[in-house]
């Protein structure tokens, strides 16, 4: 039953993330020509790959789990504060959330409260154009 709940939670967050409108500044532009294994890749996927190609040699892109949820430099999750930003002046390229119910880094509260927190954080990340990923490893 826990596994089913975790799968449903992950699917719901993915659906909500996809349903949130993206601001004009983050709208995908006409993607540059990129060769992908999937010839039916969406314009958004092509745009992402073109962006990644353009970043080559410009610096390092990395992801960080729970970056706006927990930290040493802020007290409450507001969807904007981040230890990474406080430390290096920018956000990670990919924001990740582990939606498992237990263990270190798990949000306090009932499963419903945790879900509501994740939805807000993922939507905040999406609104400003950050890439978001979710993970669930039910025990």
- State pLDDT tens for residues 95-131: 888 877 655 556 677 878 888 888 888 898 888 778 8
DSSP 8-class letter at 68: T
The boundaries of the domain holding residue 81 are: 2-135
* pTM of the full structure: 0.60
Query: What total of structural domains would you count in the chain?
Result: 1
Q: Quick one: 126 exposed, middle or buried, by C-beta within 10 A (0-12, 13-18, 19+)? A: buried
Cα separation, 45 vs 57, in Å, equals 21
Is residue 39 predicted with pLDDT exceeding 50? yes
Is residue 9 predicted with pLDDT exceeding 90? no
Decide if 121 contacts 79 (C-beta within 8 A): yes
Q: Which of 10-24, 81-95, 97-111 has the highest mean pLDDT?
A: 81-95
Is residue 6 predicted with pLDDT exceeding 50? no
Lowest mean pLDDT among 29-33, 37-41, 67-71, 115-119: 29-33
Q: Where is pLDDT greater, at 65 or 7?
A: 65
């Amino acid at each position: 039953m826990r596994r089913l709940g975790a799968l449903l939670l992950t699917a719901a967050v993915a659906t909500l993330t996809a349903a949130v409108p993206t601001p004009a500044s983050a709208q995908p532009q006409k993607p540059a020509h990129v060769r992908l294994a999937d010839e039916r890749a969406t314009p958004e996927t092509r745009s992402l790959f073109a962006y990644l190609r353009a970043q080559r040699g410009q610096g390092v892109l990395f992801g960080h789990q729970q970056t706006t949820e927990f930290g040493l430099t802020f007290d409450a999750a507001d969807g904007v504060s981040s230890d990474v930003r406080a430390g290096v002046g920018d956000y990670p390229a990919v924001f990740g959330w582990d939606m498992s119910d237990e263990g270190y880094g798990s949000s306090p509260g009932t499963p419903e409260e945790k879900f509501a927190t994740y939805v807000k954080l993922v939507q905040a990340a999406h609104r400003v154009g950050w890439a978001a990923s979710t993970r669930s490893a039910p025990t």
